[in-house]
């Protein structure tokens, strides 16, 4: 399996996959690709290069991705559509806390996600559904896939459960380099001590206002701190400046808050390039700091 960024796709002469997966599209990396349409056309190459007998798995909850799925199907590619917003007569969709595989209007199999901490949130339900579709397309049985989902430990920097200290859960979501990605983490918790900031993307925190009531306090770092402070308005927040200071302050406040499920969440909604070489180093630093604190 190979995960490709739009940068890597853009530089690849060909993509000849057995299964191609396109999760979703939202405005990102416009500084490189010029327009959202150009960005979408680059990401569409993920499934345009699927082998003749291969399968394209496409999340269809945004209009651009749905159109890409339709074009691929018209071109003769086998397409499995994924939705976490609505039922599908053909494809895989989220039904409560279960993902359900439907074909020709009949529900063939459902896999429960309840209690799987590494698959918390609708975005991870979408990830699970895409993984289900891709592995089944390669011949793996429904039952084996469902069993594997129950033991999935999660991925580094993507809603990664780093540690607990008392009842405080520490989450490393460093991969959230824009507001749309951070929204998925904010939607997954209700008592959030949020570490955000870095090198800002266009729009900053625009679109996240509906999640502000979930934020107990925000701790802002990097170049985006002052701008984010203005966008947060009445949401309790402070400019911490650096990740180590933000974590220390967030952990102290979360422990003192006397809440049942407090979460210290690193989900920056920013690129890392102001203070770190990439999001992996940012996430590794957070993880190391948390584990030192817990020890």
pLDDT digits (tens, 9 = 90+) for 98-116: 999 999 999 999 999 998 9
pLDDT of residue 46 exceeding 90, the answer is: no
Q: Which segment of 3-12, 94-103, 122-131 scores lowest on mean pLDDT?
A: 3-12
Query: Cα angle at 225 between 221 and 229, to 5 degrees?
Result: 130
- Strand 263-266 and strand 270-271: the pairing is unpaired
pLDDT, tens only, 245-254: 999 999 999 9
**The pLDDT of residue 31:** 60
Q: Taking Cα atoms as reference points, which of 139, 159, 164, 141 lies closest to residue 290?
A: 164
pLDDT at residue 53 greater than cutoff 90: no
Q: Report d(CA 261, CA 188) in Å as an integer.
A: 12
- Whole-number pLDDT of residue 256: 97
C-alpha to C-alpha distance for 220 and 158, rounded to whole angstroms: 20
193/166 Cα distance (integer angstroms): 15
Say if residue 30's pLDDT is above 70: no
Residue 120 exposure: Cα atoms within 13 Å on the Cβ side: 16
Judge whether residue 144 has pLDDT over 90. Answer: yes
Residue 1 has pLDDT above 90, yes or no: no
Short-list 201, 282, 193, CA closest to 30: 201
Query: In sequence order, which residues have a C-beta less than 8 Å from that of residue 87 and are 6 or more positions away?
Result: 93, 95, 100, 102
The pLDDT of residue 40 is 79
For residue 96, the model assigns a pLDDT of 93
In Å, how far from its chain's centre is CA 179? 11
Query: 270: which residues sit within 8 A by CB, 6+ positions away?
Result: 177, 178, 196, 197, 198, 199, 200, 201, 222, 223, 224
Q: What is the mean pLDDT of the chain?
A: 91
Q: How much is the pLDDT for 44? A: 82
266 compared with 4, residue with greater pLDDT: 266
Find the mean pLDDT for residues 118-124.
Answer: 88
pLDDT at 6 over 60: no
Compute the distance between CA of residue 219 and CA of residue 195 in angstroms, rounded to an integer.
Answer: 5
CA distance 91 to 134: 12
- Among the residue ranges 4-18, 48-62, 111-125, 143-157, the one predicted with the least confidence is 4-18
pLDDT tens-digit map of 151-184? 998 889 999 999 999 999 999 999 999 999 999 9
Give the number of residues written for the chain. Answer: 295
pLDDT score of 16 = 72
pLDDT at 265: 98
pLDDT in tens, 265-275: 999 999 999 99
Lowest mean pLDDT among 1-10, 48-57, 141-150: 1-10
pLDDT of residue 143: 96
pLDDT digits (tens, 9 = 90+) for 80-92: 999 999 999 999 9
- Which DSSP string corresponds to 45-108? HHHHT--TT-EEEEE-SSHHHHHHHHHHHHTT-EEEEEESSS--SSEEEEETTEEEEEETTEEE
Is 90 exceeded by the pLDDT of residue 198? yes
- Residue 219 near residue 249 (C-beta atoms within 8 A): yes
Position 188 confidence tier, pLDDT thresholds 50, 70, 90: very high
Domains and CATH numbers, the chain: 6-150 (3.40.1190.10), 160-294 (3.90.190.20)
SS3 109: strand
Please check whether residue 198 is in contact with residue 271, taking contact to mean a CB–CB distance below 8 angstroms: yes
**Residue 14 confidence (pLDDT):** 66
Write the CB contacts of 38 (distance below 8 Å, at least 6 apart in sequence): none
């Amino acid at each position: 399996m190979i995960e490709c960024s739009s940068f890597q796709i853009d530089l690849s002469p060909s993509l000849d996959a057995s299964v191609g997966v396109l999760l979703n599209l939202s405005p990102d990396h416009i500084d490189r690709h010029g327009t959202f349409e150009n960005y979408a056309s680059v990401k569409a190459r993920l499934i345009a290069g699927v082998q003749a007998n291969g399968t394209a798995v496409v999340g269809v909850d945004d209009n651009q991705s749905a159109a890409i799925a339709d074009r691929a199907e018209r071109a003769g590619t086998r397409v499995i559509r994924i939705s976490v917003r609505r039922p599908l007569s053909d494809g895989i969709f989220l039904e409560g806390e279960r993902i359900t595989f439907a074909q020709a209007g009949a529900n063939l199999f459902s896999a429960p996600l309840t209690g799987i901490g590494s698959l918390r949130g609708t975005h991870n339900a979408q990830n699970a559904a895409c993984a289900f579709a891709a592995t089944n397309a390669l011949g793996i049985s429904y039952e084996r896939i469902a069993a594997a989902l129950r033991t999935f430990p999660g991925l580094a920097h993507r809603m990664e459960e780093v540690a607990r200290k008392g009842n405080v859960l520490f989450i490393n979501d460093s991969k959230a380099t824009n507001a749309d990605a951070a929204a998925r983490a904010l939607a997954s918790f209700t008592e959030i001590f949020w570490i955000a900031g870095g090198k800002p993307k266009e729009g900053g925190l625009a679109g996240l206002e509906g999640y502000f009531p979930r934020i107990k306090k925000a701790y802002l770092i990097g170049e985006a701190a002052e701008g984010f402070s203005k966008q947060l308005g009445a949401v309790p927040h402070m400019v911490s400046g650096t990740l180590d200071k933000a974590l220390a302050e967030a952990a102290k406040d979360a422990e003192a808050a006397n809440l049942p499920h407090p979460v210290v969440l690193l989900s920056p909604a920013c690129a890392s390039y102001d203070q770190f070489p990439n999001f992996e180093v940012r996430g590794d630093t957070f993880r190391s700091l948390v584990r030192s604190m817990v020890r």
